[in-house]
């Protein structure tokens, strides 16, 4: 008989706690959608072979649809976080663009 009460008590606690929880669908999103779909690096490949400049950076950022853009020189330290809305323009030691990628 005591096992029946223990099982019933466990079931009752589970039902009560389930009623208190909310589903992910009913919660407000943490970060609101900004309307931007991210970065499209193919659209910025026109910059490969060109000398780095602020104007080129802005033009590549605009064409790719990225929110942010940056130059990465050969010995620059970078963090490992991936940002789908950021354009990276990799340069050589002479500041000529060698690679374009998002992240």
The per-residue pLDDT for range 49-69, each reduced to its tens digit, is 999 999 999 999 999 999 999
With respect to residue 9, please indicate whether it lies within any of the assigned structural domains: no
Q: Which domain holds residue 48?
A: 41-74+81-102
CA atoms of 25 and 35, how far apart (whole Å): 20
CA atoms of 8 and 41, how far apart (whole Å): 59
- Burial (CB count within 10 angstroms: exposed 0-12, middle 13-18, buried 19+), residue 35: exposed
Instruction: Tell me the pLDDT of the chain averaged across its residues.
Output: 81
Give residue 11's pLDDT.
Answer: 61
Give residue 80's pLDDT.
Answer: 83
Give residue 2's pLDDT.
Answer: 63
With respect to residue 18, please indicate whether it lies within any of the assigned structural domains: no
With respect to residue 32, please indicate whether it lies within any of the assigned structural domains: no
With respect to residue 61, please indicate whether it lies within any of the assigned structural domains: yes
What does pTM read for this prediction? 0.63
Instruction: Count how many domains the chain has.
Output: 1
With respect to residue 13, please indicate whether it lies within any of the assigned structural domains: no
CATH number, domain containing residue 87: 3.30.10.10
With respect to residue 30, please indicate whether it lies within any of the assigned structural domains: no
pLDDT tens, residue by residue, 15-35: 666 665 555 544 444 444 445
Q: How many CB atoms lie within 10 A of CB 61?
A: 19
With respect to residue 27, please indicate whether it lies within any of the assigned structural domains: no
């Amino acid at each position: 008989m005591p096992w029946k009460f223990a099982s019933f008590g466990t079931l009752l606690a589970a039902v009560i706690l389930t009623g208190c929880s909310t589903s992910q669908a009913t919660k407000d999103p943490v970060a609101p959608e900004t309307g931007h779909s991210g970065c499209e690096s193919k659209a910025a490949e026109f910059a490969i072979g060109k000398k780095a400049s602020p104007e080129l950076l802005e033009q590549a950022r605009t064409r790719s649809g990225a929110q942010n853009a940056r130059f990465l020189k050969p010995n620059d330290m970078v963090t490992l976080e991936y940002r789908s809305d950021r354009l990276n323009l990799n340069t050589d030691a002479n500041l000529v663009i060698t690679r374009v990628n998002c992240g």
